[in-house]
Amino acid sequence: MEEAGYCSDPRDVHVYPGVPEALGRLREAGFRLVLVTNQNGIARGIITEEQYRAVEAEFLRQLAPAWLDATYFCPDPPGSPRRKPEPAMVMEAAAHFGIDLGASYFVGDKASDIECGRRAGTRTVLVRTGYGLQHVDCGADFTVADAGTAVELIVGRIS
């Protein structure tokens, strides 16, 4: 979704155009779709968990007809073993869904996303939307313009 800081209001949720269709292509290609997100605004008292859940619900609504298999969020402050770049949330998802991390891709717009994917053993894709323009040299396996291009790359690599 478009960057909205510590988003606490569902009215501030705007999914990038083309993302639901792109996610649908991943699903058709056999991928599980899992969101992992740091939400330390909760620990800091900037937003409540209820506000986060409302934002998450609106995000999921805007993804329709695509859907995610699961969302994992870490409300903890920096230093938590569940917080990206630590891979704990990815490992939880992999165990729950039987995901082969070596055949998986971690797509994100921050250096912490790329590091999390690397630590989890996935291939990594940096999208140059949101914070992505600030993290271009973070060591991602691939760097692309946006989520749609990331999906084209991923689906193209398995075809």
pTM: 0.92
What percent of the chain stands above pLDDT 90?
83
Strand pairing class (34-38; 142-144)? unpaired
Rounded to the nearest 10 degrees, how much is the dihedral formed by the CA atoms of 70, 25, 130, 49?
Answer: -20
pLDDT 10s digits, 61-110: 999 988 999 999 999 988 898 999 999 999 999 999 999 999 999 999 99
Domain ranges, ordered by start, for the chain: 10-158
Q: Tokens 């155009």 map to which residue?
A: 17
Domain 10-158, classified CATH 3.40.50.1000, yes or no: yes
Q: What is the DSSP letter of 109?
A: S
What residues contact residue 41 under an 8 Å CB cut-off, 6+ apart?
6, 8, 47, 52
Confidence of residue 48 (pLDDT cuts 50, 70, 90): very high
pLDDT value of position 65: 85
Confidence of residue 159 (pLDDT cuts 50, 70, 90): low
Q: In terms of DSSP H, where are the helices of the chain? A: 19-28, 49-63, 88-97, 111-120, 147-158
